[in-house]
Amino acid sequence: MSSGPPTTDTASPMPPSAGVSAAVMGTMDTLSTSPARPTPAATTTANPPARVGLQRTLPKVVVTSEQIPGEGEVTVLNRPARPAQPIYRKLVAAIHPNSLYSIAATPCMRWVLTGSEDGYIRKWDFFASMNGKNPLTASQRHMQIDTITKGGIMSSYWENDDTPDPFPETGRGTVKNPHYSRSLSPVYSLGVHSDAVWAVSGQEKYIALWGLRYDEGRKVHVFKEHTQPVSTLTVSPDEYGMVSGSWDKRVLYWDLNSGKIAREFKGHTSQISSVSFRPYYRTKDLDATDEAETAVEPADMPVPNPILMTASVDGQCKLWDLRDPTSIPQTLNPQGKTPPWCTSSIWSPDGSKIYVGRRNCTVDEWDFRAAKLIRSLKLPNNSGAVSSLACTANNKQLIW
């Protein structure tokens, strides 16, 4: 670890004039929407007024008859269940002194990594943040909404050093290595191992591999091939490789065992905005052909994904088949009067649809199998570019 921003768990005071950004973390509970019983107001009169005109809407009860063996006909009262709606119970702000560029989290949401413009990678304890009572200062609460009053718990942090070689064991400024110095780079992108064993960060020209569970914050390896900032990173489903996209218009597939390039995806003419693998899960109804396969591979078992989606700022969204290196990618071009700007793209949870966010405040919904545009979701003109997208697990809501 190295010196830099404060490492205490409490939220540090910060002047309102400083450029402050926050990653808002929240938990969602499903509660009953039963109305609360009103509290009667206190009166000083000896004889309170009688209640007149009090009406209450009662739920409709359906009366049916069913035949039960051994008991005959039985009357059943079907009372409708009260509807439940999701209510966000807790919101926590992870305060950063500069603009926030990237976020990555483990699948279990135990650890959350954030990268900002100041050149530091911060590791947050999600569960401790949700269950903790770390209050925000008055200046920090001024930048948030009224319901956000708690701050996140930072577990550790380290510098995103963009030197071309890992840290030497002799350290900084010692007699054996007096000319060694560090240079911080904004954290343009992040990726993390599913078990939080290691993490990768995108820098000005390089990609750094960091120890996370063991020897935390130590630079293990540096991937050198890009010539401009690495804008996006994603780890392969089998976690033996990763895909990087950069402002130099290149998309590279890295072999993490050897540290070398396994494949390059050529065809983009502008800087890369996003890369992602198609989510795919084996199910009994679609992929199980016999009883033996069903017994060996249970349902909802993740398998290696052969489809990679890459998007660039010029508006192109390409789909690559990883099984055939010589195959021509399928391109989803902007339709109609859509301007050539693609700032983000994601898959639906079931992998059947693609959502592309653009600069003109629209989100295009594509059918993956038919490769056609389903619809365009138009946002207000003053909402700005759709720089980030996320889809809920039930595939019913889209967040941007």
pLDDT of 286 strictly over 50: no
* Cβ proximity of 155 and 124 under 8 Å: yes
Q: Which residue reads 């990763």 in tokens?
A: 242
CA torsion, points 117, 118, 119, 122, in degrees to nearest 10? Answer: -90
pLDDT of 13 strictly over 60: no
Q: 76-85, 144-153, 167-176, 338-347 — which is least confidently predicted?
A: 167-176
* Cβ proximity of 312 and 272 under 8 Å: yes
pLDDT of 244 strictly over 90: yes
Residues 109-125: what's their mean pLDDT? Answer: 93
Kindly state the tokens that stand for 34.
Answer: 């039963």
Q: Which residue reads 């398998």 in tokens?
A: 303
pLDDT level of residue 37 (50, 70, 90 thresholds)? very low
Q: 180-184, 290-294, 329-333, 381-385 — which is least confidently predicted?
A: 290-294
Kindly state the tokens that stand for 148.
Answer: 């956000």
Centroid of chain to Cα 99: 17
Q: 44-48, 178-182, 226-230, 341-345 — which is least confidently predicted?
A: 44-48
CB-based burial label for 91 (10 Å; 0-12, 13-18, 19+): middle
Q: Where are the domains of the chain?
A: 83-224, 274-400
Who wins on pLDDT, 194 or 57?
A: 194
How much is the mean pLDDT over the chain? 76
CATH superfamily of 274-400: YVTN repeat-like/Quinoprotein amine dehydrogenase (2.130.10.10)
pLDDT of 91 strictly over 90: no
pLDDT of 190 strictly over 90: yes
What's the pLDDT at 276?
Answer: 93
Cα–Cα distance, 194 to 364 (Å, whole number): 30
Residues 9-28: what's their mean pLDDT? Answer: 52
Tell me the backbone φ, ψ of residue 98, rounded to 5 degrees: -135, -175
Q: 94-103, 134-143, 278-287, 288-297 — which is least confidently predicted?
A: 288-297
AA identity, residue 170:
T
